Amino acid sequence: MRVINKSRKIIAINGQPFLPGTEMELTEGMEAHPSILDYLKKGVVVDVDTPSATAPLTEISDSERARIAGEAIARYKAEQEEAALKAEQEKADRREADIKAVKYMKKDELITKAMGMSLAVEDSDTVDILREKIIAALSK
């Protein structure tokens, strides 16, 4: 009986290495051996005469699955770090734009902005004091 190793692992039959995708001629009576029967039952080894024997290997080995999963996890982490850096940069850019806008605001605009930020505003606060309060709050 001629068999093909359909697994992704090297197995030993009769002390001989049986590489994935290769054929091997079993000696007379070997097809009745319990390990060969188990391999045939699990589809690890298939008879050359069966139609599925010539089908391409579709099973993915555990090590290949682990490698693919590792690459996917690394790619996901890199994407997450990149997104976090981008969000942080956008936040810093918005903060810079807000600070720049505050520098050119008039007193009534500064009061509105300060109250919108829940900052304490007193009647005696000057434009410069309001700007300092707002910029200090934005810089946090």
pLDDT above 70: percentage of residues in the chain: 92
Choose among 92, 90, 84, 98: nearest CA to 131. Answer: 98
How many structural domains comprise the chain?
A: 2
Residues 50 and 68 in one domain: no
For 15-24, what is each residue's pLDDT tens digit?
Answer: 889 998 899 9
| pTM for the whole structure | 0.43
List % helix, strand, coil for the chain (3-state, nearest 5): 60, 10, 30
For 120-131, what is each residue's pLDDT tens digit?
Answer: 888 888 999 999
Residues 104 and 46 in one domain: no
- Choose one of 38, 54, 70: the last residue of a domain: 54
Domain extent, residue 42, equals 2-54
Residues 72 and 133 in one domain: yes
C-beta atoms surrounding 20 within 10 Å: 16
| DSSP codes of every residue in 16-50 | EEE-TT-EEEPPTTGGGSHHHHHHHHHTSEEETTS
DSSP label at residue 61: P
CA 60 – CA 66 distance, rounded (Å): 10
For 39-81, what is each residue's pLDDT tens digit?
Answer: 888 888 888 877 655 555 556 677 788 889 999 999 999 999 9
Residues 97 and 126 in one domain: yes
